[in-house]
Chains A and B, each alone.
Chain A
Amino acid sequence: MQRKEWPLWEVFIRSRNGLDHKHCGSVHAPDAPMALQAARDVYTRRQEGVSIWVVRADQIHASDPDAKPELFDPADDKIYRHPTFYKLPDEVDHM
């Protein structure tokens, strides 16, 4: 017998105080509405969120782990790109 598994969905939750949706896990579900409900039932039981996104895992394209050296190492010696040399006024939040 052929086994038909439901597709995998990646779940992103925006928390009460959070500014952006953060990846928090995945669920299996037959379609998007059910994936949203599964995400609600699995990942928001402890007041974690106020908004949910689900994305089919096979729709996400990932960078190649073997390409890490050429993708990310060149940034190592460009410390001047960090804005840490500026003094921020206290009123500026969320930087």
Chain B
Amino acid sequence: MSSAAHLEYVLRLADNALILGQRLSEWTGHAPVLEEELALANMALDLIGQSRLLLSHAGRLEGAGRDEDHLAFLRTDQQYRNLTLVELPNGDFGRTVVRNFLFSAFQEPLWEALRSSLDADLAAIAEKSLKEARYHARHSAEWVVRLGDGTDESHARSQSALDYLWPYTTEFFTEDSVDTEVAAAGLGVGCAALRLRWEAAVHPVLMEATLAVPAPTAFRSRGKIGTHSEHLGHILAEMQHLQRAHPGAHW
């Protein structure tokens, strides 16, 4: 197996965590209630912690001397490998919650499986991240049920969030040569097995929330191969501003 696919796979995991962590941190100071503000900030910090470990690991795999900061702050949007779903704007609280639910229900079986990756560093990161993803999945599922099966207003908003986000979840399971190679080498996980686990986690919650599962569409997002929506550039502009303006700055 080429180490290029291995590196690419780790970068995808890292960028998913980093970009959603950055997105969720935007809620700080704006969440509807203090309790949920801390919950969102906690989740953002969990994800940024995961991304730091993964980016450092990616830097070591690459062997070109790039560290976590270099990879986070000095790559362009086309060099980012996150799923398009995680870069979409937060929208209202309902959309934020639904995205967290759809994403963490995907992360949970993914980390579970990656615990037995032949990449020992990745397996260790998976062990730590699994606990965090489990809590994120549980917390966001509780919210999805309460918003979906709540008032007319909260139901309408969470249904429209689901309709907006759902087409982007297809990308979770769009397998390319990177996925196939790392799965064959025992380093990563094939997408097909994850899809069954994800559906088994997501559908019962949506049913309890009285939310309708949107019909499949032909739309395919391609963030993980570096083709992003217009939103990623704006996140990076804010996130990378300091390192771009003052290269090597630290404090």
Q: Which A residues contact B (CB, under 8 angstroms)? A: 6, 27-30, 33-34, 37-38, 40-42, 45
Contact = CB atoms under 8 A, between A and B. Distances in A.
A41 B142 contact: no
B153 to A, nearest CB: 12
B110 to A, nearest CB: 23
Contacts of B42: 41, 45
Interface of B: 33-36, 38-39, 42, 135, 138-139, 142, 146
Interface of B (DSSP majority class): helix
Contact of A34 (B34, B38, B135, B146): B146
Of listed B34, B35, B146, residue having the most chain A CB within 10 A = B35
B146 A38 contact: no
Contacts of B35: 27-29, 38, 41-42
A94 to B, nearest CB: 31
Contacts of B146: 30, 34
A9 to B, nearest CB: 10
A41 B33 contact: no
A60 to B, nearest CB: 19
A13 to B, nearest CB: 15
A91 to B, nearest CB: 37
20 contacts: A27-B35, A28-B33, A28-B35, A30-B146, A34-B142, A34-B146, A37-B39, A37-B138, A37-B139, A37-B142, A38-B35, A38-B36, A40-B135, A41-B35, A41-B39, A42-B34, A42-B35, A42-B38, A45-B38, A45-B42
